[in-house]
Amino acid sequence: MTPETVCAVVVTYNRRELLIECLDALRNQTRPVDAVYLVDNASTDDTPELLLEKGYLDLVPETGEEAWERTLKRDDLVVHYLRLSHNQGGSGGFHQGVKRAYQQGYQWLWLMDDDARPQEDALEKLGEYFGAEVAALASLKLDLEGNVLFHHRGYFDFTDPNHLIGPLVLEELKDGNTLVIDHASFVGLLLSRNAVEQVGFPKEDFFLYYDDVEYCIHLQEAGGILLVKSSRIYHHIPQPSYTRKEFIGRKFDFVPFDALWLTYLDTGNYVWLNHKYTKSRWAFYRFLVEGYLYQFVWIVLAGDHKYRRVSLLTQAWIDGWRGNFDNFKPRKILYS
């Protein structure tokens, strides 16, 4: 294949209408995408049926314990569809998608969620920097109203666990078209084949949260990330799973009981990252104690289901510290 073949890697789960918008946006790029690797995390909303109706699939897969894969060509676009046997989360989906697209021989892998919508010239603008000696190129990420999502692109600080992942700042977007950054979410991140050869595939254990951060840490070893400001990708940001509550004059984020399993993943994965990458052990252990106690106190003062919340919280911090990734554990704790 030529050095400029581009395969978009899209991970989807139960957002079939948004997925079609994403796929249509990829087909309408001014610099055509050569292929799409679509990883379906065992969706239950008839995603394959809609893909069949829209021409992105020519056969509805059989459901079962085995993964199911199909490839078709639509005009000049090759569509690889992989339906996983069970939901492996975003991290598992991107691991599988990057792995398979790499094995197919594509030279650039353009990662995005199913609710992303790249501007029609997004890939063309990235393509102007194919010759740059970097591990990856990144589009500027915006919400649907056109506001820059500063926290989704930025820098690392391995000296402070509370600020390991730092955002872009507005002033950096004013001059020039490119900017060297440390991290970019898996929405609009274009990986070079050489980088994947050096650092491997995204970590599949996280299920959700921080898999992109962990991978970007490795990308620093392969040449870093170049943000191309003129390349833009829009992202449908879901409503947060928490609400703001006030207790004795203090405001805090309150996570509903049914969404606590997400908190387990978020907390455990972030603790693991800091345990592995924070340079100061003293800073890490201080973060460990203070962070746990802060959350514990709020549960005791204002939380419902206190025992289960504390049990889940405690297990999240312990598992993150030990590097145990059991994505079924939170449901066992909450509902057993």
Domain end marker among 235, 252, 267 = 235
Domain enclosing residue 152, as ranges? 6-235
Number of domains in the chain: 2
Token couple for 125: 């603008």
Amino acid 239 reads Q
Same domain as 155, residue 250:
no
Q: Strands 250-254 and 243-247: what pairing? A: antiparallel
Domain end marker among 211, 235, 259 = 235
Same domain as 291, residue 172:
no
3-state helix, strand, coil in the chain (%, to 5): 40, 25, 35
Same domain as 254, residue 207:
no
State the Cα–Cα distance between residues 319 and 19, nearest whole angstrom. Answer: 33
Residue 249, pLDDT score: 66
The predicted-structure confidence for 180-191, as pLDDT tens digits, reads as follows 999 999 999 999
The predicted-structure confidence for 44-85, as pLDDT tens digits, reads as follows 999 999 999 999 999 988 777 788 999 999 888 999 999 999
CB-CB contact of 29 with 120 (8 Å): yes
Average pLDDT, the chain: 91
Higher pLDDT, 174 or 249: 174
**pTM (2 d.p.):** 0.92
**At 87, is the pLDDT very low, low, confident or very high (cuts 50, 70, 90)?**
very high
**Any idea what the CATH number is for the domain that residue 17 is in?**
3.90.550.60
The predicted-structure confidence for 2-40, as pLDDT tens digits, reads as follows 568 999 999 999 999 999 999 999 999 999 999 999 999
Higher pLDDT, 333 or 232: 232
- Residues 6 or more apart whose Cβ sits within 8 Å of residue 264: 312, 315, 316, 329, 330, 333
Same domain as 296, residue 185:
no
42: number of CA atoms within 13 Å, CB side? 12
List beta partners, residue 12.
Answer: 40
Return the closest-CA partner of residue 111 out of 103, 120, 121, 99: 99
Residue 1 lies in a domain: no
Identify the DSSP state of 56.
S
The predicted-structure confidence for 221-242, as pLDDT tens digits, reads as follows 999 999 999 999 999 977 666 6
Q: What is the DSSP string of 102-166?
A: HHTT-SEEEEEETTEEE-TTHHHHHHTTTTSSSSEEEEEEEETTS-B-GGGEEEE-TT-GGGSEE
CB-CB contact of 320 with 271 (8 Å): yes
State the Cα–Cα distance between residues 29 and 36, nearest whole angstrom. Answer: 13
